[in-house]
Chains A and B, each alone.
Chain A
Amino acid sequence: MLSSTLTRRVVQSNFLISHYSVNNLFAKSLFSREQHYTTNVPISNFQKSLLAVSSAFTALFDPSRGDMVATLAETTSSIFLSKLRDEMLRDTKGRQILRERPIVNSKTIDIPYLRTLPEGTFGKEYVNFLDGEMVTPDTRVKVKYIEDEELAYVMQRYRECHDFFHTLTKLPVSVEGELALKWFEFAQTKLPMTLLSSVFGPLRLSNEERTRLFEKYVPWAIQCGSQSKQLMNVYFEECWNKDITEMRKELGIYLAK
């Protein structure tokens, strides 16, 4: 066995020579690919499919594993995320979002300032939601398994806007509320993960919660979600001062009765 420095040298030169001449599927599928963005973890398609299946089951049986839901979203999105990105490209604001790539976390959003806003504005409602449910915008899992960096940003934006959707639709952070919002997001974004969560999530509810969900919330979610404006195209960071009822009217969102 060579010493570590020698190994490194030999291995480097071999890598440089052979990196450009290896064509076999084995190397391409199993070995390291380039990182496209900082949090990217490039894995083979076989691993992605394994992850998709196992994360689906894990998320179903252990709902506290938010990272598994995130992984499921990333591994199953593929073409649907591209469609969502294309929809964003068709809108002016969507294009601006993709150009500027705003990130939502407690550093980029001035939460103390939002608290000073008058009641009834979008910013104030958002802060009330965060304080009331005791959540912060920092808890979102980073995107890891999507190769294209623009699509990774779209996925990241989708995750970060989840709290904004809560504010607009006024749904609570309970299991029922989350499921109703998942149905809403399915109608909006059409990602497979939203469909899977919407279909298999209610299995964890009690009977009466399930009936209430499917009688009251799901019809609302589908109808409201499909006819409202694409919320991924809304530049939420510019809307802090807007009156929330006006904003809902503009976007075509009505609250669930």
Chain B
Amino acid sequence: MRKLYIVINAVIKEILVINNVRIFNDVLKIDVTQNLCGNDNLENVYIDIDMQFYLNIDTFINLIFLMLIPIGIGLLRPLITSKSRLKYSEIFREFASSTSQRTSDQQAIKNDDKKEPETNFGFKYVPESMKEKLVGQVFTNVASKYDVMNDAMSLGIHRLWKDYFIRTMAPGPGTKLLDVAGGTGDIAMGFLNYCKEIHGDTSAQVTLLDINPEMVDVGRERFKKTPYNQTSQIQFEIGNAENISTIPSNSFDVYTIAFGIRNCTHIDRVLSEAYRVLRPGGRFMCLEFGKVQNSVISSIYNLYSFQIIPVLGQVIAADRDSYQYLVESIQRFPSQDKFTEMIKDTGFTVTGKGWEDLTFAPDTEYSPPGRRKIAWFDIMTLNHHLDFQYPKQALQ
């Protein structure tokens, strides 16, 4: 890195010399003598004491580049640091929170013999019973600006992910969907629209389940403006995904949880409930933020998550801490492989790889037939959607 800096410095000064900008500088003196004279002995050659700028258009352009290069390097520095440093920062990322992680860690050491187990709330550690309450507060605070913030943070791309998710679900007529952590109802709405537009079907049903009443209220308001209002097609329920007591077993065809499972305290309990509630041959689908494979893109993504998203939260929703929690919880969620393992352990059968990266996908050597139609998502991935199903025969 330092060498790169030195080289670029030398190049800049060469450009300056070529354009007759003379600056008194020890380093420049040596560089220039080497360049012009090609002779190492001429150490006493003096260039100039005063700064003289010949302001022609070339100097001007070069000065602009001169200013841009350090700025560019400053911005790109995290990307061109050596791999070991990036690995370092992977561990460090655990601490990239604006709250005092050190003090909470020290407290964690002291409270080791405490009876209540701790779970992660973003990068902090909190007692398990607290996490549900804290997440509840987060979503109560952001409920009114949730959709606006989604559009702002993902630049509208979240709509593409959700549309793709529903197209992959490809629900047939009369499908019963349980949309857990449905919140403001993006997936439920998309599902009903899909059935109506593709199949002309109005017998599809969706039950929107969420733990937070404010989010469900926002969802209800949204549905009031649609033709599904007051029909049996949409039902709203308040409930905890870890213990859906109001829903009988084996009663749904598809279970979806979009951007919700990372907020749950016990992911394994959520998966067991999903297993119970789905009928044999039913499908569990999860849309979630996964790990980015490419390290360069991962650095850009981290920069974006930790620097820009909290600022957006502060400015648009007047709530920085909720969005800080959001980006930290994304970092905390297990990787695609690990999550697949957890799903298999619950008893689901996983067909194929089990997941698909949507934005920032790693480049594949070959593309299997049938993937061509989704080639436009293969460019980069950020999310992946997990699609686990029973053997296909059961569906037909």
Contacts and interface: CB of A to CB of B under 8 A. Distances in A.
Contact of A18 (B92, B312, B314, B334): B92
Given A1-B335, A41-B98, A51-B311, A30 B105 contact: no
Interface of A: 1, 4, 7-8, 10-12, 14-15, 18, 22, 24-27, 30-32, 34-35, 41-44, 46-47, 50-51, 54-55, 58, 65, 67-68, 71
A146 B222 CA distance: 40
A31 B92 CA distance: 8
5 contacts: A11-B95, A12-B109, A24-B81, A32-B97, A46-B307
Contacts of A1: 334-335, 338
Contacts of A10: 91
Given A68-B315, A71-B314, A14 B91 contact: yes
A34 B100 contact: yes
Contacts of B91: 10-11, 14-15, 18
B114 interface: no
Contact of A32 (B95, B119, B125, B302): B95
B369 interface: no
Contacts of B334: 1
B58 interface: no
Interface in B96-136: 96-102, 105, 108-109, 118-120, 125
Contacts of A71: 314
A66 to B, nearest CB: 10
A54 B91 CA distance: 31
B96 A58 contact: no
B89 A26 contact: yes
Interface residues of B, number: 40
B108 A8 contact: yes
Contact of B92 (A12, A27, A55): A27
Nearest to B85: A24
Given A12-B105, A47-B310, 14 more contacts: A1-B334, A7-B94, A8-B105, A12-B109, A15-B105, A25-B78, A26-B78, A27-B88, A30-B96, A30-B306, A30-B307, A31-B95, A32-B96, A51-B311
A12 B91 CA distance: 10
B118 A26 contact: no
Contacts of B78: 25-26, 30
B297 to A, nearest CB: 16
Given A1-B334, A1-B335, A4-B118, A51 B108 contact: no
B77 interface: yes
